[in-house]
């Protein structure tokens, strides 16, 4: 296993180098790490608010950017796929954690910009934008009284499973999806529709 704080560019480079060596080359990068730290502007003093904002941006935007840079350099000449995991929060806003929405919107724009830049090198970049997902990160929130309200946001009356998000990632990482480079695939059960 290769691990580290990917918001540190030197660690991100080391992780890519080690993964490339262990796997005998990189074909796919999935940027799925993320944090969701509360930092409500109306409820927090500036220093803790700023710290939560900066950590959110570091983990959710800078770390994927570093990994895309180093992984793309490994994929040059042979091609590959990068799939970023964003959020519907990039489109609808997150008032209690604005850095989360901003980081995911930034990840969308960064991915699309690099999709254009890297296509001539045979590297595709696409994004999955889930809504609520029944993961360790959100299971506690879904068990609270608000959990039923969250599930009712989708006309399916539930949140996504990790397997549903993984299926979207698997497709976008596949050779069959190369021409979907630059796409953002919503996986939110019609809980938020964008135009």
Sketch the domain layout of the chain as residue ranges: 25-187
DSSP H or E run through 65: helix 63-75
Q: Are the CB atoms for 182 and 112 separated by under 8 Å?
A: yes
Quick check: is 87 catalytic?
Answer: yes
* Active-site pick, 7, 100, 181, 191: 100
Q: What is the pLDDT of residues 105-142, one digit of tens each?
A: 999 999 999 999 999 999 999 999 999 999 887 778 88
The DSSP output letter for 97 is S
Q: Is 138 designated active site?
A: no
DSSP single-letter state for residue 127: E
CATH of domain 25-187: 3.40.50.720
Confidence band (pLDDT; 50, 70, 90) for 20?
very high
From 7, 36, 86, 87, the catalytic residue: 87
Any catalytic annotation for residue 100? Answer: yes
The predicted model scores a pTM of 0.95
Tens-place pLDDT, residues 73-111? 999 999 999 999 999 999 999 999 999 999 999 999 999
Cα separation, 82 vs 75, in Å, equals 10
Catalytic site residue from 104, 124, 181, 191? 104
Q: Give dist(CA 63, CA 7) in Å, integer.
A: 4
pLDDT digits (tens, 9 = 90+) for 131-177: 999 988 777 888 888 888 999 999 999 999 999 999 999 999 999 99
């Amino acid at each position: 296993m290769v691990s580290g704080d990917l918001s540190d560019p030197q660690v991100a480079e080391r992780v890519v180098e080690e993964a490339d060596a262990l796997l005998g080359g990189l074909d796919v990068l999935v940027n799925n790490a993320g944090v969701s730290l509360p930092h409500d502007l109306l409820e927090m003093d500036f220093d803790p608010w700023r710290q939560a904002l900066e950590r959110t941006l570091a983990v959710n935007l800078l770390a994927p950017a570093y990994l895309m840079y180093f992984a793309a350099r490994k994929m040059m000449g042979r091609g590959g796929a990068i799939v970023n995991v964003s959020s519907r929060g990039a489109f609808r806003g997150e008032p209690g954690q604005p850095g989360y929405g901003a980081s995911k919107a930034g990840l969308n724009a960064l991915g699309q910009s690099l999709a254009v830049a890297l296509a001539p090198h045979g590297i595709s970049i696409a994004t999955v934008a889930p809504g609520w997902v029944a993961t360790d990160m959100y299971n506690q929130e879904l068990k609270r009284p608000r959990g039923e309200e969250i599930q009712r946001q989708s006309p399916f009356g539930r949140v996504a499973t990790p397997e549903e998000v993984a299926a979207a990632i698997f497709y976008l990482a596949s050779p069959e999806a190369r021409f979907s480079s630059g796409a953002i695939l919503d996986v939110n059960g019609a809980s938020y529709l964008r135009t």
